[in-house]
A and B are shown apart, each in its own frame.
Chain A
Amino acid sequence: MRSIPRGWIFDKLFRFFYLALVAVSFNVDGVARAQEISVNFVAEPLSEALKAFSEAQRIDLVYTQSRVQRNTTTCRYRGDDLSAALTCILSGQNLKAVRLRRRQYVLVEVEQPGLPNSTIGDLGTLHGFVSDAQSKETLPGAHVYLPRLSIGAATNDAGYYAIPSLSIGEYRAKISFLGYATLDTLLQVSEQSTVVRLNRRILESQILIVSSERREPYEVEPGVRHIPVDRISKLPGFPGEADLLQSLRWLPSVQRVRTNQGGLIVRGGEPDQILYLIDGAPVYHMWHIGGLLSIYQPEAFKDVRLYRGSFPAEHGGRLSAVLDAEFKDGTLDRVTGMAGIGLLSARVFVEGPLNDKISFMVSGRRSYIDRITGRRHPVDDGIMQDTMRTGIYLYDLSAKLAWRPSTKQRVTLGVYGSADILDIRLPANLSLANASSSLLPLRNWLRPSNLIFEIDTRWSNRLISARYHYLHSDQIFLTLTAYGTSYRAHERIFIRPTAISSVNSMYGVDILDVGAKLDVDYYFSFSHHIRAGISVIQRGFSSDLDALILQTNAISESTDERSTMDNTEIIIYAQDTWKPTRRLQIQPGVRFSQLRGSNGLRVSPRLGIRYDMDKVIVRMASGINVQYLHQVRDRYSVLYDLISYRWIPASRSVAPSYSYHLSFGGSLLLGTSFTADIDLYAQLTYGLLLPRNEQQSKDGLAGPGIEVGAILGQYTRGRALAHGVEVNLQYDRGSSIIWMSYAAGRSRSRAPELGETQLRPGRYDVPQRLQIALQRSTRHWMYGISGKWRSGYPITVPEARYAVGDPLSENIEGLLYFPKINNGRLPPHINYGLQGAYRFGVGAVAVQVKLDINNLTFRRNVIDREFDPSIPEHVVITSRYGFPAYPLLELTARF
């Protein structure tokens, strides 16, 4: 009898549960408890009658006051039909009640034959754009809220909003956005789009821009987190320079992990399970050398959203999260900018208008150590001459042009490039024993030599993205995106340890993505906003290796391999943001994707629900995510994949990985300053690629090669379960900020093919993490303290020792017994910090000097631990420690 895998049963149950939930959600609208209605008005002023009826029946009535002011009504009704009762009240008024959604009606004029159409009472759409008052930059994610109706809408990526099915007239509206002063104004329902401009909140110092605006309830969406770039980038962090990804670690969902490439994980996932988008185009390598800086310079971005776990149907392709960042368009006001310099890099940002319709933004960052130390150093001992190279530097450059030919159209072109260069050539004996009396200059201890250690590794991202936003009608908004993005990495190694032995290898990884995407926003009705889209992505992956290992003149080994893959992915999605009641929002969606060469069509349903109780919001999100790309790395050889990772697309032989995500959460909003968020989540992932030997050390010379099969042979299929709770408390009064984030959770995995029957802690399993920062600002000073506590990372700890002989050795070699992977944990990691900044003005330039002192208590945090069984007396345990206290200085100037 064929056994049914548990995963299959779970999959079916999950889908059944999901569909049932969706069905129930759609039926909410139709469920209404019969309630007796009694109406008895005699020559009652119509406005009073409507008000009394509205309060008695707890319904919302939308109408123009002037239309009902001087009318009276006489009506007697007893029954259970709201519509019939309203018809009774409106009889003889030339008005009728049109149901917008549950318990919400709008009064419109009854058309009368022979009479010209009246505009009073007609339905229209309140729509327009929200933008920055100074820069004219559109603001995605801003909220337009009509207090009287308790309804609102968020602006889309182009800053456009629409609230259909409103009767013609004026409405009081509150427009808000993080970092901006809320605007209380009147908006007119008309055919013309209105542009609402918001002013930034600015402290007295006129320098520090922070947000102190209370978050409106409707800003909290299931699974979506708007990142307040201005605020979060001011929280302390290594390396003391403003960096978006480094700052994200202050969110409880996000964890910075230890890899020499840098990396983030979200909710216990893996680093490769996050999709990074810049202007809609994916980026494959987000970190500079050593993972100290990311490629995200905060000044260049206007809107950053982190979609966690169960994201809306428009996003997908990864299991854990999507970080969607959009470049600034550039201000239409005047040329402004900033320049900054920290310990690692210097950066500059400039934006401004080219004319009244075109603006630009340019930003760049570059490390400068190589400019101080030099990249090439002649070495000369009088007989031989050579050059030592120490070319280590990085840069990134981004630019955007935005053209607004009319209110209805906007065209943007964004480009991005980054590169890291690690070019080292040591043609010398580095032993200090050969140094003369003084170590400086370098030539005192460098000698030219035939023996060489040379590594030239460089990797780069290139991206170009063009977007066209078009307001087809007040209810239909189109966004067309076309992009190309590439990642290239090249690793060249040349080592000559003896005069006739050498290792010479050249390894390259190239990825090229070209994609096009069409998104349509259809503001169907008062309570339905439908978003749908289609995208096509063509991906190409190639790697090549050319290596020659020459041991002696007679013994050599050469490798010349090339691996090429390409695929096409087609995605169609649709989602509805449905507001059946004033408080309830349901966002069902579905995403269909198909990868050419992979098995079948993948369906990813999504569901988000939010219930708004003004001060408290509760939310739920669930969904199935599919990831077609696996990030893998050779685990044996140093000749390839030394810095790079490989991306291998799913195929008939390598199934995609997929996950089920479920989260519940809530927000508490107290006053204008305090916000508390709590979320519980669980994610079950199938089809992960886990290393067959987690402990395999990458220290060999030759390896199995770069063919896909050789790399995949080092991995096996696995499952993972992550669950946890996240808490984020924010107290923000502009001059004072208290930020606390706490996360408790587990991230575990298992590989059935390796005989693992129980889940074991994953590489980045951190059960507890707490971060607190307190900052206070005055006109000239900012000072703050911070603390970070987290559980130590898992490590594999031997549980016993033993020895086994070898027929070719007289010695009996000591060995360690490692029965389980990640069965131990390093000590907790604790880091206290102190921050201070002084701000002053020099003419029109605002200058800030900032000092961060990390690890204030000189704590020796253990970052790794080794076990040496070679000594018979006992196993020697050696710990490696992180840095003690270190100061970080940054100078910035805004103009």
Chain B
Amino acid sequence: MRPRSLLIIVFFLGACDAVQPENSPILVVEAFVMPGEPLPEIILRQTTPLRSPYHLLDQSTAASGAQVDLRMKDELISYSMQDLGRYMPLDPVIAVPGASLGLTVQWENQSIMAESQVPPPISLDSISISVSDAPVQGLLLDSVFIDPFLVDSLGLQALGAGAREGLVYLVEATLYWTDSSSQDSNEWWMRTQLLPNLGEDRRLSDYFLSPEVVQLESEIPSANSGQRSWSGAYAVPVGTRGDQVPGHELRVSIIRCTQAYADFISGRSNPSETEPPSNIVGGVGIFAGLALDTLTIEIQ
């Protein structure tokens, strides 16, 4: 075999691949349809290069001039742009629980579509809050998981867990709502969340407590007849054993949603390594029907 032939074979077999940057922007959709409420605005953005600044909705990031149509059951609702990247229905229409949804967008040379469904409405029936009698010891750190792969490098930040002992009050909250099975035979997902406003001192990792969970509604324990309940906890750091629970606001939220939204929310936990799964065919983002109830409580 001639050397030249060998070189060609080697080049063919071992040719390096390289990243082909995505030059044309991709359409990004954000829309949440809630039962019993007017059809929402649909926000259309576009992706930008990695090294470009990403301002939330300006000329560089908004997708202007798109043709947007939303279908609810058999009704077609056209949208028009009211502001940069913000599209509103031409006529006010109320979202019907259980209705199927379809979205089509034409923008520049892109055509995207998405489907979803409006879930039954949801409301918090009751909330139960309990706070530990006294502060307990707590390890304040971001994570104790030390990845051996990181230790292999000089990235010593992998070992710098920033651990320190402190005192925390543990606050439990139990949320009650009416089960969807009484209204609908579909299987819905639930996102439950406790969001305390603790300022910058909230150092205890969520790793051990669960102030937010996404799970199938049917897998959440039943409470009283026709009700479901979920309990979560969070920690409130204090300085000394004599300190009282610092007054703060707690926002509790429940969302009934489709699996697409549940997957999207669950997939956002590590945005530096993975992209949340999207239900937008031909684009990215989320178009989902969801029922939401939220309440803010003052904890004293």
Contact = CB atoms under 8 A, between A and B. Distances in A.
Interface of A: 258, 260, 290, 429-431, 433-434, 447, 449-451, 453, 495-501, 503, 551-552, 554-555, 638, 680, 693, 695-697, 699, 701, 723-725, 744-746, 761, 767-768, 791, 796-808, 812-819, 823-825, 863-864, 866-870, 872-875, 877, 880-884
B127 interface: no
Q: Considering the complex of A and B, which 10 residue pairs feature the smallest CB-CB distances, nearest first?
A: A744-B14, A800-B47, A499-B136, A799-B22, A695-B274, A498-B138, A767-B14, A260-B148, A875-B50, A431-B164
A434 B164 contact: yes
Give the residue among A495, A496, A745, A799 with the most B Cβ atoms within 10 A: A799
B17 interface: yes
A863 B152 contact: yes
B14 A699 contact: no
B294 A499 contact: no
Give the residue among A258, A499, A863, A881 with the most B Cβ atoms within 10 A: A499
Interface residues of B, number: 87
B260 interface: no
B202 to A, nearest CB: 14
B272 A866 contact: yes
A40 to B, nearest CB: 45
Contacts of A813: 268, 271
A802 B255 contact: no
Contact of A699 (B170, B172, B270): B270
A499 B193 CA distance: 24
A817 B284 contact: yes
Contact of A808 (B30, B270, B294): B294
Interface stretch (B53-61, B71-79, B112-120, B177-185): B53-61
A552 B170 contact: yes
Contacts of B130: 554
A500 B170 contact: yes
Contact of A864 (B137, B153, B284): B153
Contacts of A699: 143, 145, 270
A683 B263 CA distance: 36
Contact of A497 (B54, B208, B294): B208
B297 interface: no
B21 A799 contact: yes
A497 B204 contact: yes
17 contacts: A430-B163, A450-B137, A451-B137, A451-B165, A501-B170, A551-B210, A551-B233, A552-B170, A725-B10, A761-B17, A797-B19, A808-B191, A817-B284, A823-B20, A874-B53, A875-B51, A883-B154
Contacts of B143: 699
Contact of B50 (A429, A449, A874): A874
A555 B19 contact: no
Nearest to B294: A808
Given A744-B14, A801-B54, A875-B51, A495 B144 contact: yes
A695 B14 contact: no
B155 A881 contact: yes
A449 B165 contact: yes
A551 B204 CA distance: 13
Nearest to B273: A695
B164 A497 contact: no
Contacts of A500: 132, 136, 170
A868 B161 CA distance: 19
A261 B272 CA distance: 24
Contact of B271 (A260, A433, A696, A816): A816
Contacts of B20: 799, 823
Nearest to A727: B10
A725 B5 CA distance: 13
Nearest to A766: B14
Contacts of B16: 767-768, 791, 825
Nearest to B34: A807
Given A500-B136, A801-B50, A824 B19 contact: yes
B271 A495 contact: no
A864 B152 CA distance: 11
Interface stretch (B91-99, B101-109, B242-250, B285-293): B285-293
A638 B32 CA distance: 33
Nearest to A693: B274
Contacts of A499: 136-138
A867 B255 contact: no
Given A813-B268, A815-B275, A882-B153, A800 B48 contact: yes
B117 to A, nearest CB: 17
Contact of B233 (A555, A768, A803): A555
A802 B274 contact: no
A451 B138 contact: yes
B240 to A, nearest CB: 15
B10 A817 contact: no
A819 B22 contact: yes
A803 B152 contact: no
Give the residue among A803, A816, A864 with the most B Cβ atoms within 10 A: A803
Contacts of A552: 132, 170, 172, 233
A813 B268 CA distance: 9
Contacts of A874: 50-53
Nearest to A694: B274
A495 B208 contact: yes
A241 to B, nearest CB: 18
Contacts of B150: 880
B253 interface: yes
Contacts of A431: 162-164
Interface in B5-61: 9-10, 13-22, 25-26, 28, 30, 32, 43, 45-56, 61
Contact of B275 (A430, A495, A817, A881): A817
Nearest to A884: B154
Contact of A554 (B148, B152, B204, B231): B231
Contacts of A693: 274
A695 B141 CA distance: 25
B90 interface: no
